[in-house]
Structure 1
Amino acid sequence: MTQRLESLTQQLLEAARRAGADAADAMAVSGSAIDIDVRQGKLEQAERSEATDLGLRVLVGQRQANVSASDTSTNTIETLAARAVAMAKEAPEDPYIGLADPSQLATDWDAAALELWDDAPEPSPAELQEDARRAEAAALAQSGVSQVQAAGASYGARHIWLAGTNGFSGGYTRTSRSTSCVAIAGEGLGMERDYDGDSRVFQSDLRTPEEIGTLAGQRATERLKSRKPPTGAFPVIYDERISSGLIGHLLAAANGSMIARGSSWLMDALGKQVLPESITLTEDPLRLRTQGSRPFDAEGLPTRARNIVENGVLTGWTLDLATGRKLGMPSTASAARSTGGGPSPTVTNLSMTPGTITRDQMIAEMGTGLLITSLIGASINPTTGDYSRGASGFWVENGEITYPVNECTLAGNLRDMLMTVTPANDIRPWLSRVVPSLRVEGLTIAGA
């Protein structure tokens, strides 16, 4: 399969040259996926997809254009290249675009060593259906669960190849296997729902359907009889399931595209403290058996581990080649792209320094406040960091969970919030975003 994708990218580059492109890069992705949903013990939906997608970026002087197609015929490739060049000639000039210099390119990598591909046989639809059925049955077995909204299992495999007229050519493959369950507890207006799921590169690492369904059911029943919390300023704990979203706001503000546009609340924060001194945020695209891993980025640069925040200090922006040139900095090998678009800076695998206490100990130490297990909507001002989100979870008094909470709003400023973060030790190291539960002090809660 990879040989065919390599051949397709070379055909795209040759066609782009013939059409008049000064430079070009091409991407070919071939994949298959199976998705199975079960309801009331019976098959609800089954989907299988197989496709090969092509993407081509051409440069004519300092102008560029991107085109894509799912037809791999020679005629389509020639037409695609001609249209891309015609589009590029009409595009505005951008002094910062351009392929990587050959000296910057990855030349020696071992994609197999990252363990992104599971050699186990592809599961049959019947096997996936049985996994979904078992998850649903486990959820329904929990006292208080009235129905299961969704129980599903899926498998996917992708082959990726990237090549450019600068001499780069390389690819890798990846697989994924997942099971999920959404359970509903209660009846009528008192219904509550919650979920659990797991997704892994290797099927043998996946948690059992029974564990997933049971936890989804337990979480749903725990939310019964929810009510609003009091209004005021209280400490808040972001459960490990959602805590990466809070850190994601920092990552978005440290993205080179935001900095280059001058629209980030972290504009003046480079080299300054943005998190407590005990915390380091590390991006590592080379972690084994992790879905965000890759041996090179979408511009062919070798990936490597780097600290985005070190001992609480912001050390740099997330950059691809173009944003790096705009800011006078080298790329951090963080370019990502799809077949339908050009490169853009993106963080892949992230890990945060865990704390030394459990989530339960953190709850006990908090005294009175809110444990958040779900977030709803968002209103984030990217230039000021003002933060407002709907939330639900559990109210804590005297260090103990007292009742479930629904329909409240959190408000604060991200710059202030992140400086008060205290992490627990409940990380799941196989995730692409490894962030523990986080306690944040003094958020304003609008409840009853």
Structure 2
Amino acid sequence: MSEFARLQSLTEQLLSAARQAGADQADAVAVSAAAVSVDVRAGKLEHAERAEGVEIGLRVLLGGRQACVSASDHSARTIQEIAARAVAMARETPVDDNLGLAEADQLTRDTDSSRLDLYDHGADPTPEALQDAALRAEAAALAVDGVSKIESASASHSRRQMWIAATNGFSAGLGRSGHGLSTIAITGEGTGMERDWAGESRVHLSDMPEPEEIGRLAAERTVERRGAKKPPTGAFPILYDERVASGLIGHLVSAVNGAAVARGASWLRDALGEQVLPPGFDLIELPHLARMGGSRIFDAEGLPTADRALVRDGVLQGWTLDLATARKLGMESTASAMRGAGSPPSPGVTNLALTPGTSTRDELIRDMGRGLIVTSMLGASINSTTGDYSRGASGFWVENGQITHAVNECTIAGNLRDMLMHVTAANDLRDWRAMRVPSLLVEGMTLAGE
């Protein structure tokens, strides 16, 4: 029996047990996963880990109530027990008339994900091959002048196969693979120590950069941070480097999530149809990109996915919705449901792309005159209701349009609604990113340094 056939059989057993236990409706998930990771340090193996197993999950719906139960044991006895437990739990939960499976005419007719090429059918890399890749990245980083040591170099590989089935007739599977490599380098000693990193991940091993490329980039970024000091305090333009600019757009994406909007816990809850980015900016979800780990042709509730504009010409087009949040808001699902084995569906996004600008990053730096380039962030204080924003940051100081020195230990603050209306984009979009966002210049933020 193939792995998909085994997972499908498990979901069918779960649904049968749920019906026997008294559920009105049910959906089931079975996931088979395996992952291997290797860390090296100082030319030697530091840590190796392997995890694999099968997890099953069941959601039952009973008179507007729901409950979810998951287990790592998938024996016939366990399946019967979790079905009975889920139904008993559902009877004790509050009624929510928005809960329910998709109607038959809402379900996708296309469940073949093979055209997305999300699964690397080549041989799994051995632990020895992963260790060799990590050692090559470490050696390349150490070869860069100014690097004092490597904090870690890590390589990993994973495979995940999933089957989803429901009592409304939906039944489909999806497989994904992943390869990753990262390096963290350190320069200096004691209180003058600085670090930076580089890392990449791909669905297919053949799409991965060479380990030496990742190691060198981590080292070069680290060496650039030597002599970092606090910047001045005041109001300055802030350039979010493309490494961190996706986080800024991520706050917008979170604010248009239907779950937050339905709770009234979004700073964009009243902004539908309004300008949230400058004219000319589109933010598009692209769920059908080949060889991208987040791609999918159906969502976790069996609805067909399609390209979708969250923002068009700067104007907010709609919320990110699953079935339940769509019903709460009197709208249609955007086929955005995601779920794990132990949780109900909730809205989420896949691949996103923001319209790039026409200027290079260097041109934006020249035009900003005096200000801060942010390359890494830590900590966050974000008020989800008002959009008030404060984050720790580090990066580089700019004087007269030129980078002068590295910066650390500072805080940048503003209001997200205002910040996003005053962004200028560079033209440095990177491929192979789940969120493709270029460097973004934001005018007039508050910077707290010395």
TM-score if structure 1 supplies the norm length? 0.99
The match for 1:300 is 302
Cα shift at 1:110: 3.0
Q: What residue ranges of structure 1 are gaps of 5+ in the alignment? A: none
The one-letter code of the counterpart of 1:288 is A
1:286-435 map, 5 Å = 286-435=288-437
The match for 2:20 is 18
The match for 2:93 is 91
1:97-116 map, 5 Å = 97-116=99-118
The match for 1:267 is 269
CA distance in 2, matches of 1:430, 1:106: 27
The one-letter code of the counterpart of 2:179 is R
- Which residue of 178, 187, 191 maps to 2:193? 191
Where 2:216 maps in the other structure, the secondary structure is helix
Query: C-alpha deviations, 1:128-158, integer Å up to 9, x for none?
Result: 0000000111111111111111101000011
Runs of 4+ aligned structure 1 residues displaced above 3 Å come to none
Cα shift at 1:357: 1.7
The one-letter code of the counterpart of 1:136 is E
Cα shift at 1:261: 0.8
Where 2:151 maps in the other structure, the secondary structure is strand
Cα shift at 1:267: 1.4
- Which residue of 229, 232, 235 maps to 2:231? 229
Where 1:361 maps in the other structure, the secondary structure is helix
The one-letter code of the counterpart of 1:283 is E
Cα shift at 1:340: 1.0
Where 1:176 maps in the other structure, the secondary structure is strand
Cα shift at 1:63: 0.6
1:117-128 map, 5 Å = 117-128=119-130
Contact 2:111/2:172, CA 8 A, preserved across alignment: no
Query: C-alpha deviations, 1:247-301, integer Å up to 9, x for none?
Result: 0100111111111111211111100100011110001111111111011111111
Cα shift at 1:429: 2.3
Query: C-alpha deviations, 1:165-223, integer Å up to 9, x for none?
Result: 00000011111101100001111110000000000011011011101111111111111
Structure 1 residue 162 and structure 2 residue 164: aligned?
A: yes
Cα shift at 1:120: 1.5
% identical aligned pairs: 62
The match for 1:439 is 441
The one-letter code of the counterpart of 1:373 is T
Contact 2:111/2:173, CA 8 A, preserved across alignment: no
CA distance in 2, matches of 1:400, 1:302: 49
The match for 1:152 is 154
The one-letter code of the counterpart of 1:74 is A
Cα shift at 1:307: 0.2
Structure 1 residue 69 and structure 2 residue 71: aligned?
A: yes
1:189-228 map, 5 Å = 189-228=191-230
The one-letter code of the counterpart of 2:387 is G
Where 1:241 maps in the other structure, the secondary structure is helix
The match for 2:181 is 179
CA distance in 2, matches of 1:155, 1:141: 26
Where 2:365 maps in the other structure, the secondary structure is helix
The one-letter code of the counterpart of 1:374 is S
CA distance in 2, matches of 1:302, 1:240: 31
The one-letter code of the counterpart of 1:400 is Q
CA distance in 2, matches of 1:412, 1:80: 48
CA distance in 1, matches of 2:160, 2:425: 35
CA distance in 2, matches of 1:193, 1:73: 48
The one-letter code of the counterpart of 2:63 is G
